[in-house]
Chain A
Amino acid sequence: MILDAGLQPERTVLAWTRTCASLVGGTLVGLKLVPAEVGGWATAPCVAVLGAAVTVGVLARRRADHVRRALLADQGVVADGRLLLGLATLVAAAAGLAVLVVVRVAGVG
């Protein structure tokens, strides 16, 4: 039995929460900037990133409940990379949108 079994998933889910919250916050700023600078079509990818970020956060929280139960039952944690790769892809996509904004603001694109 791990002494801090309940705290490990809590720390981890808090890390997920603040990461997804940062992405949601950034995308909300993006929703204001991107359509104005890049054009109306760019609203859709922003909304998609926003929705996906919220979804990743919710899934991470659900997984944390599962992990906590498994740890308290001394069953170990089953790591899986899907959610992580999804989040990494989302942030890379957000960076792509950021490039569009910056290039338009600078007036070179």
Chain B
Amino acid sequence: MLSSPDSTGVVAGRRFPRRVFGRGTEPDPRFTLANERTFLAWIRTALACIAGGVALETLGLHLHPGLRLAASLVLIAAGMMLPLMAWWAWTRAEAAMRTQAPLPPPSMALPLGVAVCLVGVLLLLGVLLAAP
């Protein structure tokens, strides 16, 4: 029933994205809002990654320059990918809640964990290999 107004008068077919809202029923509003806050927490994580990446390079820390730049770019790349992945995860969780399906497993924890480990390794090597 894509075109029937729900209890708040919003036409379901006009909600975005349609592949999420075209199916299922309205979940408990608390869960909808919690899903939104989870998305926002990932956005702030992405902002922290970007800020860290910029700070690393602009503060001129005494590290191996190539490794410092690599670590910085890994952080900023994470900050670029995370918002898009967070958006994707939000749509999947919303769709699952609407269809009473189990919530999808966390999809971003592993990529972020790998990125942060990689940054750690690069910075460690950057310290060890810094010009005396």
Contact = CB atoms under 8 A, between A and B. Distances in A.
Interface of A: 2, 4, 8-9, 11-12, 15-16, 18-19, 22-23, 26, 29, 33, 67, 70-71, 75-82, 84-85, 87-89, 91-92, 94-96, 98-99, 101-103, 105-106, 108
Contact of A102 (B15, B36, B69, B83): B69
A33 B44 contact: no
Contacts, number: 132
B58 A33 contact: yes
B79 A98 contact: yes
Chain B binding site: helix, strand, loop or mixed by DSSP?
A: helix
A76 B7 contact: yes
A79 B20 CA distance: 10
Contacts of B51: 26
Contact of B80 (A15, A75, A96, A101): A96
